[in-house]
Amino acid sequence: MRETWVVPAMTKGHPRPDDLSIGSASLSDVADLLALWEAAAENESRPADTADAVRILLIRDPDACLVARQGGRIVGSLITGWDGWRAHLYRLAVHPGMRRQGIGRALLDAAAARLRSLGATRLDAMVLEDNELGHMLWRAAGFQSQEEWRRWVTPLR
């Protein structure tokens, strides 16, 4: 069963838009997620998102992708990965016209609740070096950069 969280109008001093709700994305949300990520994207160097990849994620873990909705429209998202050992946060995205209204923080709060319920004791997030707005959000939420770590990647062929 998909969970939906009703977000308080104000938490920790952050006003929220009216009728904001946080819940799990569904397969019918794939096109809207891709459109949100396109509008909110700040990293040209990453591989392109595909509908197939999003569908695979949602089929594998139907509650992995949280979405913030206002008036039925997706205005934010956060992927919450849990492998049974580590909890990872990816693709925190808020529509540019909706930023600085507490939507990102509401998504983080919902992600923490979900991952804590699965047994996670620590969260980690991937944040682009040049994403200063994102850095402010993560710091305000209690996250700290770990300078001693470096992410290593390779594409699969």
Tens-place pLDDT, residues 38-81: 998 766 667 778 999 999 999 999 999 999 999 889 999 999 99
pLDDT at 43: 60
Helices (H), 46-131: 51-60, 103-117
Signed CA dihedral, 117, 3, 101, 133: sign only: positive
The type of residue at 78 is L
pLDDT at 32: 96
Helices (H), the chain: 30-40, 51-60, 103-117, 132-140
CA distances from 18 to 36, 44, 66, 70, 124 (A): 20, 32, 18, 7, 29
pLDDT at 10: 46
pLDDT at 48: 79
Tens-level pLDDT at each residue, the chain (157 residues)? 345 444 445 455 555 567 899 999 999 999 999 999 999 876 666 777 899 999 999 999 999 999 999 988 999 999 999 999 899 998 899 999 998 889 999 999 999 999 999 999 999 888 878 777 878 888 888 888 888 887 777 777 7
pLDDT at 127: 80
Going by the DSSP 8-state scheme, the letter that residue 98 receives in this structure is G
**Domain 4-140 falls under CATH 3.40.630.30:** yes
pLDDT at 65: 97
d(CA 109, CA 156): 33
pTM: 0.82
pLDDT at 66: 97
